[in-house]
Amino acid sequence: MRLEDRIAKTDWAAASTALDERGMAKLPGLLTAEECAGLKPLFEEREMFRSRIDMARYSYGEGVYQYFASPLPEVVARLRSALYPPLGLIANEWAERFGEDPAWPEDHVELLDRCRAAGQTKPTPLMLKYKSGDYNCLHQDLYGEVHFPLQAVIMLSDPEKDFSGGEFVLVENRPRLQSRAYVVRLGQGDCAIFPVREKPRATKRGWSKSQLRHGVSIVEDGERMTLGIIFHDAA
């Protein structure tokens, strides 16, 4: 099945409910093992990337990540534009709940136009590589004034064979409550959708906002690679 068809066949109502209730929706098997295997070697092709970050240098964690340069590899570009429309609908529902203008555009091209107008022109999709002992501190991926509220991460490695530990972690800070952690084990090709910064939370008095940060727990052994899709571009 084509990637676009896999995305169209996703149960987006269930994904939306999972995002509401838990702050994360898992799309199992979004990429095939072959697609994952095709992406992983790109990490070594320096010219594919616009920048390389050694996480320890900035105290972001330990490991390396690289932002793709334009033009994005075909699978990455297709994932970004095909995942966007259903997420745009969810983002607009969230905006309404927050009493904001539900003005996220229908198409990803229009979101990129909006980013460009705000001076955000650098592509943000990235690949991350962690080895034994590496980790990614809890953080948020905000790269400018325009920030689309949802993002995706796709597991390229196979946790059955390639690594242990290194779980994707989402931590929610709810007003006046202690933090809640959510850990979802991602298999190879699985995608997790999660909030960039905040999500609506139902309270007795209507909707409030909880704040989210995500990261990766310490990799016990092996090598773990992921593909991150952030929908807004960076300044």
Ligand X SMILES: O=C(O)CCC(=O)C(=O)O
Contact positions vs Fe ion (CB under 5 A): 141
Letter for the amino acid at 221?
Answer: D
How many whole angstroms separate alpha carbon 170 and alpha carbon 188?
19
Closer to ligand X by Cβ: residue 125 or 200 = 125
Rule CB under 6 A: say whether 148 interacts with ligand X.
Answer: no
State both tokens at 170. Answer: 């989402």
Q: Is 85 helix (H, G, I), strand (E, B) or coil?
A: helix
Closer to Fe ion by Cβ: residue 97 or 229 = 229
Rule CB under 6 A: say whether 228 interacts with ligand X.
Answer: yes
Among 79, 146, 216, 234, interactor with ligand X by CB under 6 A: 216
CB 218 within 8 A of CB 209: no
Binding mask 154-183 for ligand X (x = CB under 6 A): --------------x---------------
**Span 85-144, contacts to ligand X by CB under 6 A:** 128, 136, 141
How many whole angstroms separate alpha carbon 209 and alpha carbon 160?
36
How many whole angstroms separate alpha carbon 166 and alpha carbon 136?
9
Closest distance of CB 164 from Fe ion, Å = 21
Tell me, letter by letter, the H, E, C secondary structure of 123-138.
CCCEEEEEECCCEEEE
How many whole angstroms separate alpha carbon 177 and alpha carbon 163?
34
Rule CB under 6 A: say whether 188 interacts with ligand X.
Answer: no
Closest distance of CB 203 from ligand X, Å = 28
Q: With CB under 6 A, what is the number of residues at the site for ligand X?
A: 9
Rule CB under 6 A: say whether 226 interacts with ligand X.
Answer: yes
The dihedral through the CA atoms of 101, 104, 110, 111 has a sign that is positive
CB 69 within 8 A of CB 44: no
Residue 108 touches which member of Fe ion, ligand X, none, C-beta under 5-8 Å by kind: none
Closer to Fe ion by Cβ: residue 114 or 214 = 214
Interface ranges with ligand X (CB under 6 A): 128, 136, 141, 153, 168, 214, 216, 226, 228
